[in-house]
């Protein structure tokens, strides 16, 4: 039985940054968070009750009303949509005799839709939350299994031309510390390198961030170390929520120690002793495995106090997100850790000087940090042997949709998209219509662009983006209108609502995309104005890219926006 008293007691010495962990425990234990519970939590954490309510309201995995014993959320992203998500959702609702969003008469099930669950290689996906037990991600989701409580484990599909980051990935389990090794790079750095030398090595490697913004990692670390204020923090952004992106999930679930060693090296380099690993709420298995790995590493003395017998200490805490794409934006992620609504902050100031708790902070993507141990151990030249000057090192891509083997692939930048899809992924299923490159915030590519080289610079040159490495493949059985409508719903659902252009623009964009079959006169111009306004005037990267795919579609297929009659 869930015991609220003991939970509150455990949190009694904690501050506001314990709000999300506390809400998660209560949500899982009781299935919802009541007014009375909010008052109790307010007294425990010394946070105004009204503010706690505002936080609960922001995150889609927290509920203020009772739900069914089991909540099933079916993914509606374009990859799941192309592979039967609607049938799963419809099947569940039919069998339970309910509409989407409702709870079955016996109170056992609630069925909801959700945005991308990051299981695109096993589409369609679902997230199952059982009261008193916790969450479980299921893919491919099948109606019978979901209702029978059978959740067959999914296994990562990995491959590619080379195995560096993906080396040691096994189906069904995380790589244990014994297999991973004794944090050799960290040991080497602690004994033989100064923090300054580690930063120099990372700078010389030309590593650029893998989360989507492609900022030089070494420069970020240097700026942080140069900030005089203490303490400094290391934050790993594992809020991977970009539709079509699931590479970080595979790393978190498969190679937790690679990530932890990367975080520890970063902490050593910038002079931090505390780190946070912010994992999106929809990745329960990743959170479980990372927690286990942290315990394992601390027991072995490669994490925690006086690591490897030196005076360097580094502690990592896991924070689970509450269900909000915006928290992948670095400053919104800080707000979430601080126990607030996930609103992005105005930049500047940047995280390197004013990050988590207002302190100098390095925030890096999972894949970026996973590249660090190899770079430190083997040197910058080792890393630069792959790729190009501007796209150095191996790179992970998440391929979903109509290819023979959707999965996470490690590539050497410079190969063509054609090579990736036709050879590495086993070939395109059916006749290729388009590739959505870079996720929902990316752009559409045409079959004529298949020979584009997969590097940051080549993709920028054609007006596209590598983004987070999401590659969604659609053959000619897919309706572009359907894809656009799903993207529109995604941004409409995920806009935080802070700045006016995105708050209203994502709603209006979605409304216009929903009537593409019978557009009103002037809709093309409306979409164009909304798109440019969101792109140029929004506060953060979400709004600035919320029209990216739509604007690219308007260039490629103007007829799609001209109403049903205009399509041949």
CB proximity list for 521: less than 8 A, separation 6 or greater? none
Q: Are 138 and 145 in contact (CB under 8 A)?
A: yes
CA gap 510, 505 in Å, rounded: 8
**Residue 13: CB minimum distance to another protein, A:** 22
Contact between 30 and another protein (CB under 8 A)? no
Selected range binding another protein among 227-235, 282-290, 523-531, 547-555, rule: CB under 8 A: 523-531
Structure tokens at 198: 């580690």
CA gap 527, 534 in Å, rounded: 10
Which of 543, 545, 441, 530 lies closest to 497 in space, CA to CA?
543
Contact between 191 and another protein (CB under 8 A)? no
- Cβ-based nearer residue to another protein, 462 or 520: 520
3-state secondary structure of 309: helix
Which of 551, 549, 535, 553 lies closest to 437 in space, CA to CA?
549
Selected range binding another protein among 181-189, 213-221, 530-538, 555-563, rule: CB under 8 A: 530-538
- Cβ-based nearer residue to another protein, 232 or 498: 498
Per DSSP, the residues of 448-507 read GGTT-B-SHHHHHHTT---TTSEEEEEETTS-HHHHHHHHHHHHHHH--S-SHHHHHHHH
Selected range binding another protein among 45-53, 95-103, 230-238, 474-482, rule: CB under 8 A: 45-53
Selected range binding another protein among 47-55, 83-91, 153-161, 449-457, rule: CB under 8 A: 47-55
Count of residues near another protein by CB under 8 A: 44
Among 210, 232, 319, 341, interactor with another protein by CB under 8 A:
341
CB proximity list for 140: less than 8 A, separation 6 or greater? 83, 122, 123, 124, 125, 154
In the shown chain, the binding pattern of residues 226 to 265 toward another protein, with x for contact by CB under 8 A and - for none, equals ----------------------------------------
- Cβ-based nearer residue to another protein, 344 or 393: 344
- Cβ-based nearer residue to another protein, 370 or 539: 539
Q: Are 227 and 315 in contact (CB under 8 A)?
A: no
CB proximity list for 304: less than 8 A, separation 6 or greater? 297, 298, 313, 314, 315
- Cβ-based nearer residue to another protein, 250 or 332: 332
**Cα torsion for 236, 242, 243, 244, to the nearest 10°?**
-60
* Touching another protein, residues 382-421 (CB under 8 A): none
- Cβ-based nearer residue to another protein, 143 or 499: 499
In the shown chain, the binding pattern of residues 470 to 509 toward another protein, with x for contact by CB under 8 A and - for none, equals ----------------------xxxxxxxxxx-xxxxxx-
Contact between 113 and another protein (CB under 8 A)? no
Q: Are 271 and 225 in contact (CB under 8 A)?
A: yes
Q: Are 425 and 403 in contact (CB under 8 A)?
A: yes
Contact between 547 and another protein (CB under 8 A)? no
Tell me how far apart the terminal alpha carbons of the chain are, to the nearest angstrom: 61
Q: Are 435 and 445 in contact (CB under 8 A)?
A: yes
CA gap 385, 297 in Å, rounded: 31
Contact between 214 and another protein (CB under 8 A)? no
Among 429, 453, 544, 562, interactor with another protein by CB under 8 A:
544
3-state secondary structure of 387: strand
**Residue 282: CB minimum distance to another protein, A:** 17
- Cβ-based nearer residue to another protein, 452 or 495: 495
Selected range binding another protein among 88-96, 282-290, 372-380, 525-533, rule: CB under 8 A: 525-533
Angle, CA of 250, 166 and 248, to the nearest 5° = 30
In the shown chain, the binding pattern of residues 64 to 103 toward another protein, with x for contact by CB under 8 A and - for none, equals x---------------------------------------
Among 105, 191, 295, 346, interactor with another protein by CB under 8 A:
346
Q: Are 201 and 376 in contact (CB under 8 A)?
A: yes
Contact between 535 and another protein (CB under 8 A)? yes
Q: How far from the centroid of its chain's Cα atoms is residue 207's Cα?
A: 20
Among 537, 556, 562, 563, interactor with another protein by CB under 8 A:
537
Q: Are 72 and 130 in contact (CB under 8 A)?
A: no
Contact between 292 and another protein (CB under 8 A)? no
- Cβ-based nearer residue to another protein, 109 or 490: 490
Contact between 358 and another protein (CB under 8 A)? no
Structure tokens at 411: 């590539």
**Residue 404: CB minimum distance to another protein, A:** 37
Strands 315-320 and 272-279 turn out to be parallel
Selected range binding another protein among 52-60, 253-261, 304-312, 392-400, rule: CB under 8 A: 52-60
**Residue 562: CB minimum distance to another protein, A:** 18
**Residue 78: CB minimum distance to another protein, A:** 20
Ranges assigned E (strand) in 139-255: 158-160, 232-238
Contact between 529 and another protein (CB under 8 A)? yes
CA gap 73, 462 in Å, rounded: 37
- Cβ-based nearer residue to another protein, 273 or 544: 544
- Cβ-based nearer residue to another protein, 222 or 498: 498
Which of 490, 481, 392, 508 lies closest to 442 in space, CA to CA?
490
Contact between 213 and another protein (CB under 8 A)? no
- Cβ-based nearer residue to another protein, 229 or 536: 536
- Cβ-based nearer residue to another protein, 185 or 547: 547
Contact between 324 and another protein (CB under 8 A)? yes
By CB under 8 A, name the binding residues for another protein: 35, 38, 48-51, 53-54, 57-58, 64, 324, 341, 346, 492-501, 503-508, 511, 515, 520, 526, 529-530, 532-533, 535-539, 544
């Amino acid at each position: 039985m869930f015991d609220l008293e003991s939970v509150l007691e455990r949190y009694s010495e904690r501050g506001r940054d314990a709000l999300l962990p506390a809400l998660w425990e209560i949500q899982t234990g009781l299935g919802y968070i009541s007014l009375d519970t909010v008052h109790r939590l307010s007294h425990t954490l010394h946070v105004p009750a009204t503010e706690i309510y505002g936080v609960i309201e922001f995150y889609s995995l927290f509920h203020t009303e009772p739900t069914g014993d089991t909540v099933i959320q079916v993914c509606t992203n374009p990859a799941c949509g192309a592979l039967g998500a609607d049938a799963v959702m419809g099947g569940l609702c039919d069998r339970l005799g309910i509409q989407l969003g409702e709870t079955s008469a016996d109170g056992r099930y609630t069925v909801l839709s959700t945005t991308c669950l990051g299981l695109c290689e096993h589409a369609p996906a679902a997230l199952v939350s059982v009261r008193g037990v916790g969450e479980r991600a299921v893919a491919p989701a099948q109606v019978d299994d979901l209702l029978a409580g059978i959740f067959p484990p999914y296994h990562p599909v990995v491959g590619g031309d080379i195995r560096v980051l993906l080396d040691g990935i096994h189906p069904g389990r995380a790589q244990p510390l014994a297999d991973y090794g004794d944090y050799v790079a960290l040991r080497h750095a602690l004994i033989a390198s100064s923090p300054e030398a580690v930063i120099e090595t990372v700078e010389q490697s030309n590593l650029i961030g893998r989360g989507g913004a492609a900022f030089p990692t070494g420069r970020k670390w240097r700026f942080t170390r140069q900030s005089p204020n203490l303490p400094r923090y290391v934050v790993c952004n594992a809020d991977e929520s970009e539709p079509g992106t699931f590479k970080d999930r595979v790393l978190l679930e498969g190679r937790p120690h690679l990530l932890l060693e990367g975080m520890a090296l970063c902490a050593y380099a910038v002079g931090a002793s505390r780190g946070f690993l912010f994992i999106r709420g929809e990745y329960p298995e990743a959170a479980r495995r990372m927690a286990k790995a942290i315990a394992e590493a601390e027991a072995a003395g490669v994490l925690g106090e006086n690591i490897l017998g030196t005076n360097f200490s580094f502690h990592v805490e896991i924070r689970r997100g509450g269900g909000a794409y915006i928290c992948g934006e670095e400053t919104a992620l800080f707000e979430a850790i601080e126990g607030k609504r996930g609103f992005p902050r105005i930049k500047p100031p940047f995280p390197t000087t004013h990050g988590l708790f207002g302190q100098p902070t390095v925030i890096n993507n999972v894949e970026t940090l996973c590249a660090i141990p190899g770079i430190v151990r083997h040197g910058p030249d080792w890393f630069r042997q792959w790729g190009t000057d501007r796209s150095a090192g191996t790179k992970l891509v998440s391929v979903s949709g109509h290819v023979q083997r959707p999965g996470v692939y490690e590539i050497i930048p410079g190969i063509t998209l054609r090579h990736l899809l036709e050879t590495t992924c086993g070939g395109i299923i059916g006749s290729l219509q388009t590739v959505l490159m870079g996720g929902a915030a990316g752009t559409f590519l045409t079959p004529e662009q298949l020979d584009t080289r997969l590097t940051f610079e080549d993709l920028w040159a054609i007006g596209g983006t590598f983004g987070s490495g999401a590659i969604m493949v659609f053959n000619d059985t897919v309706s572009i209108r359907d894809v656009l409508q799903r993207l529109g719903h995604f941004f409409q659902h995920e806009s935080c609502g802070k700045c006016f252009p995105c708050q209203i623009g994502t709603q209006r964009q979605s409304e216009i995309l929903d009537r593409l079959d019978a557009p009103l006169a002037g809709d093309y111009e409306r979409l164009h104005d909304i798109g440019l306004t969101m792109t140029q005037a929004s506060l953060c990267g979400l709004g600035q890219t919320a029209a990216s795919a739509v604007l690219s579609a308007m260039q490629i297929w103007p007829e799609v926006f001209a109403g049903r009659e205009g399509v041949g």
